[in-house]
Amino acid sequence: MIVDRGLTQAPALNWAALEPAFDILCPMHLRLTHTGHIVHVAPTLKKMRADIDLIGKRFLEVFRLDRPRSVKSMGELTQRARSKLHLELRDEPFTALKGVLVQLPDGQGALVNMSFGISVVEGVQDYGLNSADFAATDLAIEMLYLVEAKSAAMDASRNLNHRLQGAKLAAEEQAATDTLTGLKNRRAADHILAAALAEDSEFSLMNLDLDFFKSVNDTQGHAAGDYVLQEVAKVMRAETRKGDMIARVGGDEFMFLIDGLTKKEKLLEIANRLIRGIEKPIAFEQTQCHISASIGIAMRSRGDSEGLDALMLCSDRALYASKSKGRACATFFEELDEET
């Protein structure tokens, strides 16, 4: 008897025995019965729903089918075998997935293989996945490495930019600061005054000169002089407002921009506090350093046409008037006679 082997029915495949291999090749697949019930869940999908037992649930109860929208039942879904499916998990975080369904022979149900598609980065972050959760041939792994490399490069670039910006700001601050006293320097003062004039701001300009400072340097040395300047700077910060500019513009010469204030009574009050504070003896090593301060004040109102040089000349003339009066006092330019 001759048997036609081509017509002999092949034995049914044991899908349960094949599933370990499928889990490696397709770690995001499901096996369904012909009724759409889940009978096997691949390891990555298990990890994504570790708190839910998907076995026995209907496929369309776990996943919402976004496309094709016309599909409402498992029978309709099997008719769309091999078509691209757009799915979304019905539970938070409502992950979007791509899939394809393939019918198994002999009515043994169907396999649905899935992937994240372009949402792979969000999927990895949401579920704490790593390369072991994907097939070795999945291009998502290379994409993840590229994303990780790009992220690391961007972090490094941001850190570098922050450091460069910080260094730039530090350099700019250093360029505008008097290194001995920590006050603004002449360059910074000129810039701030020019900006105030350009904005047509109302302010007062004080010029302050230390009296008898040269004597401290000559008799007690430059170390004593430097210490006195640092102590004077502390008095100046304490007796002026936080937003006022204080600058050391010469060896013992200082400049103040008192923003928004042109009332003589208030300005004289500030000037007198400065004079009293600076007149207090300053102890250095075993000696006492005695100095005082003379101040000239010029006020600037909105709409005034004087430029920076003219305004500084006014405060200088008022300062020299204070020196002529005997020092340790303040004079307003507006109070000078024409002959002064």
C-alpha–C-alpha distance, residues 235 and 275, integer Å: 9
The answer to whether 96 and 88 have CB atoms below 8 angstroms apart is yes
Strands, E assignment, the chain: 29-32, 38-41, 63-67, 84-89, 96-103, 110-115, 203-211, 245-248, 253-259, 282-284, 287-289, 292-300, 330-332
Tell me the longest C-alpha to C-alpha distance in the chain.
Answer: 143
- Residue 252: active-site member: yes
Distance CA 322, CA 293 (A): 9
Nearest alpha-carbon partner for 104 in 112, 93, 116, 114: 112
- Is there a contact between 140 and 122 (Cβ–Cβ < 8 Å)? no
Q: Which residues have CB under 8 Å from 204's CB, separation 6+?
A: 257, 258, 261, 262, 267, 297, 298, 299, 300
Three-class SS state of 306: coil
- What CA–CA distance (Å, rounded) separates 184 from 245? 8
User: Catalytic pick from 226, 252, 304, 309?
Assistant: 252
Pairing, β 330-332 against β 292-300? parallel
What positions carry a catalytic annotation? 252
